[in-house]
Chain A
Amino acid sequence: NAGVTQTPKFRVLKTGQSMTLLCAQDMNHEYMYWYRQDPGMGLRLIHYSVGEGTTAKGEVPDGYNVSRLKKQNFLLGLESAAPSQTSVYFCASSYYTGTQQYFGPGTRLTVT
C-alpha cells in the first residue's frame, strides 16, 4: 500500500515549456486535490476532483489544467510554464466528506 505517490520529485523547466505532474493513489479514494506550497503562504488549492471524470477549480487555478481519467490518477499540467509557478506541488486524496486528506511527498518545480 503505497498511499499517494507523485512523479517526478524534482523538475526544472524553462519559461514557456510544458509538463505534466502525475499523482497516483491506491486507497480507492473518491476525492483528489492539487495544492501548491510557497514560503509564508501555506498550501493553496489549485484544482480538485470529486470523482473519475470530474474536475473543478480551486483558489489558484490560472495557468494549470487537470484531468482525472482514472479514479486512481490525477494529472496536473502546465501548458506554458512561468517563473511564478516555481513552487512545491502536493497532491492529496480523501475518501469522503470530512475525512482526512492523505498527502504525497511533493514535487519541487523550478521555472527559470
Chain B
Amino acid sequence: DAKTTQPTSMDCAEGRAANLPCNHSTISGNEYVYWYRQIHSQGPQYIIHGLKNNETNEMASLIITEDRKSSTLILPHATLRDTAVYYCIVRVAGRSSASKIIFGSGTRLSIRP
C-alpha cells in the first residue's frame, strides 16, 4: 500500500472548519483514500473514503486532487469532540485479505474553545 504523509499536529477553533491535508504521491490507480480517527483510548473510527471524486457524508468531506497525489479531509464545523488523531490511509478497497491497513503517525487535531 502507498505511503502517506500528514502533519504531526494541527489546531482549529471550535465552530470553524478543520482542514486536514494528506500527501499520497505514490498512490496507485486502484487504491482508495481512507480516513479514520482515533479518540483517546478508543478504537479507530471510520470517517470517509474516496477514489477520485470528492465525497461528503454526515461526518466530513473529502477533497481529492485531480492527480490524486493529495487529499484534504474537511470537518465543516469542528467541535471539542472532534479532538482526535486523524489517519489518512491508502489501500485497495474490498475484502481482500491482502489489503491490510498500515497506520502512519497521523495528525493530532486539537480543537480550542
A binds B: no
